[in-house]
Amino acid sequence: MSEVIRRENQEKEARRAQWATEVEEHERNMSEVIRRENQEKEARRAQWAREVEQHNRDIEERQRREKEEHQRLNIHWTDPESHPCITYGTREYTARLVNVPGDYNRRVEACMAIPIQIHGVEYKANWCEDHGPSNLIGHWKVDQHEPECTSYWDSYKDLGCASHGSGQRRIEHYLANVPSGGDWDEFCATTPASFRGMHFMGAQLCFHKNLGMYGQWVIGDESCN
């Protein structure tokens, strides 16, 4: 029996040693695989970074050449015109691009690339209408320095709990200083409001009442539970 036990122990030790050797070999192989994968990832990242850098250089060079071409041709904006306010703090402007040669095939690109000064700030067109070389119209949405487009909420009113046990309270405001010609619903939805330590980008619900526009909010309130 002692000899049998001794042989069994030897076999167990041999299997443990073999298993340890296999584990060590597996770990070495995995380390090598991970090392190669990391090298490949780094190589791909470096290649991608070089491609992005080259792409950006190409864009900058193309923009530089186009700018020089626009200046040489004296392509510029004329007849700037302001339009009614289109949303909170924002007015639309248009202008016409002139000196565009009849055979110039990048009219829209020029329209989008050449900035215009409005209130002393340079803007690039949001979109363009191409009706031919002498009728290229740019459109801008200007959301700075437009106080006449700034509506505000007035006459805060607490309407009480939405219903018993709802955990919600209703708040109402009157929308003041809506610009002439402005879309009341649009201004109601985009005029910021702050109350009870909360800030909203516009009313949750808009409705007309007594020849005016009102906004309403439903907020959480534990006192309404």
Which residue did the predictor score with more confidence, 176 or 29?
Answer: 176
Q: Over 90: is that where the pLDDT of 64 sits?
A: no
pTM for the whole structure:
0.67
CB atoms within 10 A of CB 92: 16
Q: Does the pLDDT at position 26 exceed 90?
A: no
Confidence of residue 4 (pLDDT cuts 50, 70, 90): low
In the structure, what pLDDT confidence band is assigned to residue 185 with cuts at 50, 70 and 90? very high
Q: How confident is the model at residue 105 (pLDDT cuts 50, 70, 90)?
A: confident
Residue 84, pLDDT score: 93
Domain limits, the chain? 1-72, 74-147, 151-224
Query: Residue 169's pLDDT is what?
Result: 95
Q: What share of the chain is helix, strand, coil (3-state, %, to 5)?
A: 40, 35, 25
Give the chain's length: 225
Centroid of chain to Cα 188: 22
pLDDT computed for residue 147 by the predictor: 94
137-161 pLDDT, tens digit per residue, is 999 999 999 999 999 999 999 999 9
Residues 16 and 90: their CA atoms lie apart, in Å, by 77
Residues 128-137 have pLDDT tens digits of 999 877 789 9
Mean pLDDT of the chain: 89
User: How far, in Å, are 8, 26, 86, 148, 216 from residue 90 at the CA level?
Assistant: 88, 65, 6, 9, 23
Q: What average pLDDT does this structure show over 176-182?
A: 93
Give, for 6, the enclosing helix (H) or strand (E): helix 2-73
**Phi, psi values for residue 183, rounded to 5°:** -80, 110
Helix, strand or coil for residue 39? helix
Least confident of 36-50, 90-104, 150-164: 36-50
Query: pLDDT over 90 for what percent of the chain?
Result: 54
pLDDT number for residue 124: 95
Report how far apart, in Å, the C-alpha atoms of 161 and of each of 156, 194, 222 are.
15, 19, 10
